[in-house]
Structures are given as structure tokens and as C-alpha cells.
Structure 1
């Protein structure tokens, strides 16, 4: 079970909780229902039924093992050992889908008196929540004046929360998919509650939503196993429409604080996720995987390219998506020219959006684009270039030398290694599909980005000077991310130009390396993936916003690395229940586990 009875019961003896921690160690939060029942029985024998009844342990010890899951959830419900948020049902395509409605979530937040948490301020600063939201919406209106909220009469911006929807597919039993959909505030505590930034007048400024446990900063609405929507996509889309309709109610009518009578509103400003999820949710017909792979020799038989970007016509005839080393690409004229769908997405039917740029509702995640995208190709290609300069006589020794160098760097910089060795497989050496990079952990990409300059400094220069160019690019990329992560929700003019300049230098380096490698017959290195275009898009928008408005929206607000953590945690919970009841049981376990985190964060009365 996700939560142990000692942690759930504030009256449990301290020695009992300590004993459980000793028994389960770091796996405490992942203990099964049966293990908790057996532990409860052992403790009851030791301390006696009287004390066990007083502390609530007796109820756990009396749960039958052959119905452990059902019994545990009954006891949790009776003892109040989960967040007091109801799980209700929606019916889609004849299927019953359990969910936690947004209205119930926000009513719970108001009952607990933690509405200020959505603005990223502590309880002793709750009076700053209103001014923070007014600042957020004032800045947002300058950048996106056609967002529907700004034409709505009588808006109280100090009590209107900006939120994102997020979705992604995790892994449940037998590696089957589990779609996890959640809601989150656009504001939070930055990267750390201890690193609060102040404006010129000494007041806190709007920060990105990264710090804190993801069970506290993200609100799960529903989980749907892939077996339900794989053969019938309407299950997923209908569930999203139910969610969107309720969010529209919160946008139009809000939710009332039961103690003060004040009304608060919720405005969704976008959907974020990885590119496959955006394509699925939006029904996009221009995405990263609609690029034309081959060109027919006969022009008459050539398939007309449909494009690779939902924001513009890049990848269509006359607008090459590979044009990344310029501030004035041809595709820039094609933004908002043609909608990227054949049928209006259900989310846009109900939720507020930018009426001048409907496709921008589907937000690009720079972290996915780089760290789980072309960043791996950049690293894999650079390591392969470095091989010729490694001071060893044979290839096997070169790989060992690279591994030793990386491990030494990790020890010196106090970084987790994440991999045991640098191998040909890891960097796609001689892989006919190209130097893709065979890892799927963003933290490893971050490590490699910081390690590459140290590696290149250790080696003798290569004859073509490619390693120097590769170092230049990765250093600029590191500087760009350092600025983005260290800034507030809105970049200043100077920060914006710095970010854009660093990012564009990286793209220029990538393009030069791709051309140089191609000319030298190394076509597998530095592949020009569509995701490079998405980064180009974001950088040019930042630069344009800074020029026009002296500020820009921090693209890390739409970053999904914390959401990946949430999806991973929820997916792990789902792997400990019966697949027949995976939706209901996963939500119940999630609410039980979230109780501990909300209590630890001081968010419960």
C-alpha cells in the first residue's frame, strides 16, 4: 500500500512508526497491503489489543488477507487516512471512468485554507497571493492580449488562478500504458522555496512550479489504462471533454470559499506534454512524425509534405524545417496561416485560448525537446567525434578511457553517474539509424552536457576543428538553461536576449557540425531532427517578445520534468493493484500517499 497505517494515523505511537521505517526502509511508501496487515498483526501481538485499538492498528490487523486491497481502502476511508477529496465516476463510450473532478479539488483546497499555495507563497505570506496573480495576468496580457480572459467582463485577476493541463502515458502492469491526466498551477515556488526572488519594490515575483513534492504541486484527475483507449480513441477524447466542461464551469462561475463567501476562478492557459501526447490530444495533422522521410526520384510521384509543426508550415514546400541557423527563416511568415487539425479539438471548444493563435494552446516542452530529444544526438555525435582524439591504441581501450573520464568527472562534480559505462550501444556508434543516443533519462543528458566541455578540454584538438565547435555549442546551451532555470515566470528584456542569443549560437553550432560531418561522409552524426525546429521556434518567440514588450514568458513554465516525476509515481502505484480495478485503486492509493506529502508540506489543517 502507498501509505503505512502508522504514518496515516497521527495518534500512532512514535516507536511504532520508527519500527516500520526500520523494517521497510526506503521501500516504506511502496509496501503492499498484505505486508501492512501482517505488520499490524505482529505489532498488535507485541503491544496488546488495548493499545492497538487506541492507536488504530487493531483495525488493520483484522483485515482478511484474501481481501487485503479492499479491506485496506475501507480502513483508510474510515480512519481518514487519505486526502478528503471524493472520487466520482464519469461515463464515456459506455465505460465507467473514476475521476477526481477539478471542482472537488479546488473546493478541497479552499476548505483547507491553502489557496495561496497555488500562487507559490507560504501561509505567513498569503496576503501576497492576490497581488502575485494580478502581476501574472498583467504581464500575460501584454504578451498575449488576445487570450479570451481579457475580454471577459468583471474579472477579478487577484482571485483567478492560471493553470495547465498535463497528460502523459506511464507504465502499469506488464508494461502496458496508463494515461495520467493532471492539473497544475502555472505558478509555484520556483526551483526551491528557499530561493524566492524579489522584485524592485521588495515583493515576491511569479515563479515557475517546480519546487516541492509533485503530489502537492500537481492534482491528478484521472488515469486510464491503454487497453481502454487503444482500440477506441473516443474514450480518451470524451474523458477530456468531460474534464474540459467542468473546467469551463470553474472559469465561468468559479468556486466559493465556504468560510468567507469569496469566489475564486480557474483559467486554463494551455495543455503541455510530450509531442506524441499533444498530437493525440489535439488531433494534430502536422507533428514531428509527419515529416517526409524520402523524396521520390520522379517529381510526379513525390508525396507532398504535410509539415512537421502545428505552429507554422515548416517542413512543407518552400519552408524547410532544417533552417535553424538564422533569425529570419522562411517559415516565420507562415505562423497562424493554417490550422493543424481537421476537426476542432474538444479542449478548444470549451476552454479559454488565444483567439489569434489557437494552436499555441498546445505548448511545446523545451525539456523534452532537448534532453529527451536532439540533445542525446548532439552528445552521441560529439562522443563519436572525440573517439579519434582519445589517447588509446584500439577502440576497446578508447571506450574504457571515456568511461573512466566520465566517472572521474562525476566523482569530482558530485554527480550521480546514471550509467555504468560509455559504450558503443549507448552512443549509437555506427548505428544505421543515426547517432540517436540510447538512453531515456533526462538527468543523464544534463550530466553529459556538463561533462562534454571537460572531455574536449582533456583531448588534443581534432584536425577539422569540430570538437572546438561542439564545445562552443554545448557551453552556450548550458548557459541558456542556467538562465532559464534561475529566472522567474517572466524573463526581463536582458534575460530574454541572453537566452535567445545562447540558444541560437547552439543551433548555429549544430547546423555547422551537421554540414561538416555530412561533407566528410559522416552522415550519421548530428541528424537534423524536427525537434530542432521547435527549439528554434521558442527562441525566436522569446527574442520577438523582448523586442516588442521588454519581457518574455519563461518557457520552463511549460517544462514537464516534474510532471514526469508525477506520472512515474502514479504509475508505480498502479502496478500494485489488480488490473481489473486499476483506475479506482490507483486514485485511492494516490490520495492516501498524497496525505503524507500534504501533511509534511504543512498544507493540512
Structure 2
């Protein structure tokens, strides 16, 4: 703003933006930069969504952007087609009708089919996403948004248009829509009721939008559009917190299982007589699938009309399950095994890691795979010594795919040259190969998998489970802390099982689990959390929402 201070006043006054710049400079001079959202709003440079104060208990008010208000503004601005992955209003009826036709095969018990089945072409599918970002002093801030599972695809897809498109392409300001933010100090410990009240208000509104809908200007006609919530996206800690789950990852039995050690909200895996990593047809956990609710008190989102099996609301996030979970375990242990065998030359452990990194970098350049890390260390592998299980903790989850690709290539070449077969390395190679195939199928597909792609993904998933467990068993027999078995491995098993179940039932289209993944939402959370660090701590919630509306307007409309 100070750059305008010495500008030619005759020229400056002729600028269309002179008034805006003058107001901004005035706020800069008076130390009120963090209130610039009001200036942009007054000049039509922010989404005109009103801030609504809701009662969160004990006399406290909290600002939110109501879903109905957001939908009305988007409809007025001709942006409602974003909710069915299009820019054209005329595609609404065919797209929404086909979406719900496929979803009926996925979850026929969802309330939408009984209560609103007569006008599915006017029902918008909605997902809720929640996650905790980082604000000032490394404190947390809960960020809640709504979004559609349908979007404009993913850059790696080679699928046909009939598969519909995942919601990955495009700036997240234009594909995710903020409901509210809440700093951790406002809802932690004795203030737990605050977050519960926020979620209850959201649930009540979504229930009303499901039952009564909202009147929207769709093109030249006014019509009632309905909203059906199909799931909560988020990592496992958020799912456990919002859903009041009593069975979650933190319940994983360390020593001996008990009747209270179950860690899966969909089944009783982890309890006595329910081994969680058994992938056989007669695995005992299968008979307990959706037979016992994972809470003593329902979470606030349970009041939203949804599937009769309310556990289905809580979706496994493939990004944290694989890139930051199971495949990161595979990648981390795989890199250490190369050192165990001395396959990259002599020297201490760090020297060997340096050599491995150079090979990894060369492989990524040859295979045209992006690599974000700039080196390998014990710290990055969370491996202080042989008393710990290594795991890749690199910042970018995409690097997990890069490492798994490298390991497959390296081991393929090495195993082929062995005079005597090595079952340990062979099973590790198969685990890497099937992991890469699993990701390749999903990331090259649309929102719905064809039968051929579904079969390939399910087969690759089961192949991975078999080879990974064999590799972990071989490491255990060698008395090596490699290839850890974690609750996320069981979560992956449910994802694979859903694919196999859809294929065996003869579904023409099966839900791509990437539709529940939070890869793009991680980017979104970072952006919104960043805004919270630029506003006054005394009114962080309200000012963050105002600044969001400015940014959303810019990315939705650009120079329109």
C-alpha cells in the first residue's frame, strides 16, 4: 500500500481502484490491515455470503457461513454447477440422476432413496471435511468445509467421461467452501461443548436442507434443491473426535487384546478372537462388520439423514492411510533393508542413505516422477536404531509414491540377478509392485471405477496384503524391526474389501476410494490456517471468514 504514496495524484485519481487503494492505505497507516476484508466486501470484491452468529452455549456466539447462504450466492453467480462437476447448468439433471443411480448400488440404505427418491435430479451430494490446521504459536485451529465429491478430475486420469470426475483439479478456494474455523483454545478441555455445538448447528442445517431444501435461482428458473450428506472426510483423529468413537486407532492393543481393545469403527477388529490383519474369506472380523455401533453416545453428525448404518458416515482417508501410513511403512522399511543387505556400497548408515538418495533421485528423473525431499536421514525415517520400526515421514505424501516406485525398480533388477532366491526380498518386491499397481489404477480413474478397473484395484490390494504380511513375518523371524503392522493396515483392508464386494455384486460402477481422500484438502487447510495468522487474535474467527470470502471470490470469478 505504501507503494502508492508517491504516485502521481492525477493518474491515481483516474484509476478504477483508486478508492479501494485509498481505503487500504488508510487502514495500513492506522494499523487496521487485518480488517481489510470489510473494505473488499464493501466494494463487491468478496463473496456476498453473510456471516451468521450461532449460539454455542454459555452465552457464547460463533460466526459461520451457513450452507444455504453459500448455495444461494453460488447459484446467483452461476457457480452451482460446481456441485455436479461442471460449468453448465444443463448437465444438472442427467449428472445428478446418474450419480444417485450409481450410489444406490453403493449404499441402498441411505435415507435419500426412501425420502427424496422422486427428485434425485435436484439433490446435491455433499461431503463434510474437518481437520486441524496450525495457527499462531503452533496452536491448532479446527477448519470445517463442505464440498462435492464430483469435480473436474485429476491430472493423472486417463479414464472415460462416463466415470465422472474426482474433485482434485482446480484451486481449492473454488472447489471447497468454508463453514467455519475455531481455534483450539476456544474448544479444547473445558470448552469441548463449543465444537460440539458448532457441529450440531451444521448437522441441523444439513438435516433441514435434506428435508425441505433451499430455493435457488438455477438459470432462468427458481427451484427447490436438496442436499444429501454422504460422508465425513478427515484423518482418523478427527473422525474419532467428531464421531465420539470408542473404537479407533488409539485403542490398538499393544500387548494383549481384550473386549475393549477394538480399534475399527466398522467391525470388532483388535478385540479378543478378532485378529485385524486376517484377509481370508473366513476372517472372524468379517462377521462383525456393522453389527455393533462404535460409540456410547452418538456424535452430532448422526442427526443428519444418512445411511441406516451410521458408521458409514466416517470414511477412511486413503491419503493418510497409505501415503502417510501403510505405504510409508513399506517405503521406510524398504530403504533400510537396502542398507541391511549392503546393496548400495560400504560406509556408515548415513553414507548409505546418501547413496540411496542419489539412486532415488536418478530414478525419479528418469521416470518423470516429482521428488520433493532433498535427502534421506535417520530422522526422516524415524529410525534412531534397530529398536524402532522405520517409516517415511517426509513432508510431501507424494514422495511415498516416488520411493515405492524406486524400490520396485531397484529390487526388480537385484532379485533377477540372484543365483539363489531370497524369499524376503522377493516378497518385498511383490509388496512394492502391488502397492504401485493399486495407486496407479485409482489415480488413473474417475470418481467411479469400471468393473475392469475395480477388479484390478481389488486384486492389487489383496496381493499387497499377502506380500506385506509375508515380508513382515520374514523380518520378524530375522529379529528385525521392519514392516510394522499398524491399525491403518486394517483400514486399508476395509477399502480393498469394499472394492471386491462391489465387483462381486456385479456393480457396473464402484466408488473410487480417492473420493474420500484428503489429499487436496491438506492444501486447503494450509491456506485457511495461514489466514488465521494474519488477523487479530481477538476476532480471529470473524476476520478469517471475511478474508476467506475475498480469496474465494478472486479464485471463483477472477477477472469476470
- TM-score between the two structures when normalised by the length of structure 1: 0.86
Q: Output one character per residue of 1:88-137: Cα deviation in whole Å (capped at 9) or x when no partner.
A: 211202322111000101111111122222111223xx312210110010
Is 2:437 aligned against 1:473?
A: no
Aligned residues: 549
Is 2:96 aligned against 1:139?
A: no
The aligned counterpart of 1:290 is 251
CA distance in 2, matches of 1:368, 1:48: 51
Change (3 A) 1:45 1:174: farther
The aligned counterpart of 2:198 is 239
Higher mean C-alpha deviation, range 561-570 or range 398-407: 398-407
Give the 5 Å matches for 1:160-559.
Answer: 160-192=123-155, 197-199=160-162, 205-231=163-189, 232-258=191-217, 259-295=220-256, 304-324=259-279, 326-349=280-303, 351-355=304-308, 357-387=309-339, 388-395=341-348, 396-429=350-383, 430=385, 432-457=387-412, 459=414, 461=418, 464-522=422-480, 524-550=481-507, 551-559=509-517
Change (3 A) 1:261 1:51: closer
Aligned to 1:363, the other structure's residue is in SS state coil
Higher mean C-alpha deviation, range 561-570 or range 394-403: 394-403
Q: Over the residues paired in the alignment, what is the CA RMSD in angstroms?
A: 2.2
Asked if structure 2 preserves the Cα contact closer than 8 Å seen for 1:377 and 1:527, the reply is yes
CA distance in 1, matches of 2:372, 2:338: 21
Asked if structure 2 preserves the Cα contact closer than 8 Å seen for 1:166 and 1:271, the reply is yes
CA distance in 1, matches of 2:394, 2:161: 38
Asked if structure 2 preserves the Cα contact closer than 8 Å seen for 1:484 and 1:554, the reply is yes
Q: Offset at 1:313?
A: 0.5
CA distance in 2, matches of 1:385, 1:196: 36
Asked if structure 2 preserves the Cα contact closer than 8 Å seen for 1:284 and 1:340, the reply is yes
Q: Offset at 1:496?
A: 1.4
Q: Offset at 1:534?
A: 0.7
Change (3 A) 1:43 1:61: farther
Change (3 A) 1:317 1:194: closer
Aligned to 2:161, the other structure's residue is in SS state coil
Q: Offset at 1:341?
A: 0.1
CA distance in 1, matches of 2:10, 2:522: 42
Change (3 A) 1:580 1:55: closer
Is 2:84 aligned against 1:84?
A: no
Change (3 A) 1:412 1:43: farther
CA distance in 1, matches of 2:266, 2:8: 62
Q: Output one character per residue of 1:165-198: Cα deviation in whole Å (capped at 9) or x when no partner.
A: 0100000011100100000012111215997733
Unpaired stretches in structure 2, ≥5 consecutive residues = none
Change (3 A) 1:598 1:52: closer
Q: Output one character per residue of 1:466-485: Cα deviation in whole Å (capped at 9) or x when no partner.
A: 23322221221111112112
Equivalent in 72, 87, 96 of residue 122 of structure 1: 87
Q: Offset at 1:490?
A: 2.0
Q: Offset at 1:591?
A: 1.1
Q: Offset at 1:307?
A: 0.2
Change (3 A) 1:410 1:91: same
Q: Output one character per residue of 1:441-460: Cα deviation in whole Å (capped at 9) or x when no partner.
A: 21221221222122324546
CA distance in 1, matches of 2:421, 2:479: 15
Asked if structure 1 preserves the Cα contact closer than 8 Å seen for 2:34 and 2:536, the reply is no
CA distance in 2, matches of 1:444, 1:502: 20
- TM-score between the two structures when normalised by the length of structure 2: 0.93
The aligned counterpart of 2:36 is 72
Asked if structure 1 preserves the Cα contact closer than 8 Å seen for 2:142 and 2:182, the reply is yes
Q: Offset at 1:65?
A: 2.2
Q: Output one character per residue of 1:189-236: Cα deviation in whole Å (capped at 9) or x when no partner.
A: 12159977334xxxxx43221111111111110000000111122111
Q: Offset at 1:71?
A: 5.0
Aligned to 1:294, the other structure's residue is in SS state coil
CA distance in 2, matches of 1:145, 1:102: 26
Q: Output one character per residue of 1:498-517: Cα deviation in whole Å (capped at 9) or x when no partner.
A: 11100110111110001000
Asked if structure 1 preserves the Cα contact closer than 8 Å seen for 2:435 and 2:464, the reply is yes
CA distance in 1, matches of 2:19, 2:444: 46
Change (3 A) 1:73 1:143: closer
Change (3 A) 1:438 1:241: same
Q: Offset at 1:492?
A: 2.0
Q: Offset at 1:43?
A: 4.1
CA distance in 1, matches of 2:235, 2:354: 35
Asked if structure 2 preserves the Cα contact closer than 8 Å seen for 1:390 and 1:401, the reply is no
Q: Offset at 1:538?
A: 1.2
Change (3 A) 1:431 1:82: farther
Asked if structure 2 preserves the Cα contact closer than 8 Å seen for 1:378 and 1:526, the reply is yes
CA distance in 2, matches of 1:53, 1:119: 35
CA distance in 1, matches of 2:539, 2:91: 43
Q: Offset at 1:287?
A: 0.4
CA distance in 1, matches of 2:401, 2:4: 43
CA distance in 2, matches of 1:115, 1:90: 25
Asked if structure 2 preserves the Cα contact closer than 8 Å seen for 1:166 and 1:181, the reply is yes
Give the 5 Å matches for 1:591-602.
Answer: 591-600=549-558
Change (3 A) 1:52 1:384: same
Aligned to 2:555, the other structure's residue is in SS state helix
